[in-house]
Amino acid sequence: MNAIERLMRAGDRHQPVRGGEVWLVGAGPGDAELLTLKALRVIRQAEVVVFDRLVSPAVMALLPPEALRIDVGKSMGCHTLSQREIDQLLVELAQAGNRVVRLKGGDPFIFGRGGEEMAQLQRHGVVCHVVPGITAASGCAAASGIPLTHRDYAQSVRFVTGHGRNGEADLDWRGLVTAGQTLVFYMGLTRSETLAAQLIRHGMAAQTPLAIIERGTLPQQRVLIGTLSALPALIAHQRPVSPSLLVIGEVVSLYRAASIIAAQPEAALPA
Ligand code: SAH
């Protein structure tokens, strides 16, 4: 037995995946190798997997072939199931005795509504386990060679949603414009023009560097570099698609295209 098999066996003994319980599992930003070993162990034993749009095909390929897959994916403005229906579905699947995995992109508790799902399960007396995942901000930034808190540039980092409960996010713009702070906007693409205008209005330099990381950690990853005032033009010309993440702050100046090659060694090696 190799070391990984030993780890997984130990996990099975200490935290068995039981029927009638739900595992809220973070699938990470896309690259299947960024799953945790615990996530892998748990999804390998799933009987029913309830997943959303952000879970990559490479991660889906690791599910047991016989597992029932339920797509509750949401693309903006077009919800397959409402959140309330998803909560209800998880409760019913667990109460029917299934080993249920709720697979979510990134980390279940970062802008993923995992907290709401856990609360509903608990309210119905269903045992809920949570497996953390690498959230898009840290996964995408690291994989593109942007250190979110390089100490010469940033002493803090904020993860911000560009999308509030009812669409427009009501943000504390003044608090966001702080020296030595990196901002990472999730779901910020469609509102990027407002985001840039508000940050500039509240005192952020128009020349502040920013990056759009499109499909981070996936084979199609693209990193677009610009400045705050040029954000609308960057989007108009490059037309990034979802999912994309916006990183704003001086740390972006550390980005070098070559670091992508370092992060994906196969791209640098001759065939
Ligand atoms: N729970 C997830 C976030 C869900 S919100 C997490 O922890 O990562 C969805 C937003 O996450 C997307 O609109 C996008 O801004 C960001 N995102 C998720 N995966 C991404 C990826 N591979 N590349 C770029 N952005 C990503």
Kindly report the average pLDDT of the chain as a whole number.
91
Whether ligand 1 lies within 6 angstroms of the CB of 135 is answered as yes
Peptide bond into 265 cis (omega under 30): no
Over the range 74-98, which residues count as b (16 or more CB within 10 Å of their CB) and which as e? beeeeeebeeeebbebbbebbeeeb
Side chain identity at 23, as an amino acid letter? W
Q: Are strands 156-161 and 181-186 parallel, antiparallel or unpaired?
A: parallel
What are the helix and strand counts (H, E) for the chain?
Answer: 11, 14
User: Among 83, 111, 163, which residue has the most ligand 1 atoms within 8 Å of its CB, making it the best to mutate?
Assistant: 111
Q: What is the mean pLDDT of residues 192-208?
A: 95
In the chain, % of residues over pLDDT 70:
90
Q: Which region among 28-37, 53-62, 68-77, 112-121 has the lowest average model confidence (pLDDT)? A: 68-77
3-class DSSP assignment, residue 33: helix
Whether ligand 1 lies within 6 angstroms of the CB of 187 is answered as yes
Q: Is 16 exposed, middle or buried (0-12, 13-18, 19+ CB in 10 A)?
A: exposed
Cross-strand pairs, 128: 22
> What integer pLDDT is reported at residue 240 of this predicted model?
96
Q: How far apart are CA 6 and CA 264, in angstroms?
A: 28
Residues designated as active site = 52, 74
pTM assigned to the model = 0.92
**Angle at alpha carbon of residue 11, lines to 87 and 111, rounded to 5°:** 35
Distance from residue 152's CA to the centre of ligand 1 (Å): 27
> What integer pLDDT is reported at residue 269 of this predicted model?
43
Distance from residue 26's CA to the centre of ligand 1 (Å): 12
Distance from residue 239's CA to the centre of ligand 1 (Å): 17
Q: Is 245 exposed, middle or buried (0-12, 13-18, 19+ CB in 10 A)?
A: buried
Determine which residue's CA is closest to atom 18 belonging to ligand 1: 136
Whether ligand 1 lies within 6 angstroms of the CB of 234 is answered as no
Residue 224 phi, psi dihedral angles, 5° rounding: -110, 130
Whether ligand 1 lies within 6 angstroms of the CB of 224 is answered as no
Q: Which atom of ligand 1 is nearest to the CA of 185?
A: 15
Whether ligand 1 lies within 6 angstroms of the CB of 132 is answered as no
> What integer pLDDT is reported at residue 217 of this predicted model?
97
Side chain identity at 124, as an amino acid letter? H
pLDDT tens digits, one per residue of 155-172: 999 999 998 666 566 899
Whether ligand 1 lies within 6 angstroms of the CB of 213 is answered as yes
> What integer pLDDT is reported at residue 84 of this predicted model?
92
DSSP string for residues in 112-170:
SSHHHHHHHHHHTT--EEEE----HHHHHHHHTT--TT-TTT-SEEEEEESEETTEE--
Q: Which atom of ligand 1 is nearest to the CA of 109?
A: 1
User: Among 24, 25, 54, which residue has the most ligand 1 atoms within 8 Å of its CB, making it the best to mutate?
Assistant: 54
Q: How far apart are CA 227 and CA 248, in angstroms?
A: 8
In the chain, % of residues over pLDDT 90:
84
> What integer pLDDT is reported at residue 266 of this predicted model?
46
pLDDT tens digits, one per residue of 124-149: 999 999 999 999 999 999 999 999 99
Closest by CA to 50, choosing from 35, 41, 60, 37, is 60
> What integer pLDDT is reported at residue 112 of this predicted model?
86
Q: Is the pLDDT of residue 230 over 50?
A: yes
Q: Would you say 221 and 245 are in contact if contact means Cβ atoms under 8 Å apart?
A: no
Q: Which atom of ligand 1 is nearest to the CA of 221?
A: 23
Side chain identity at 266, as an amino acid letter? E
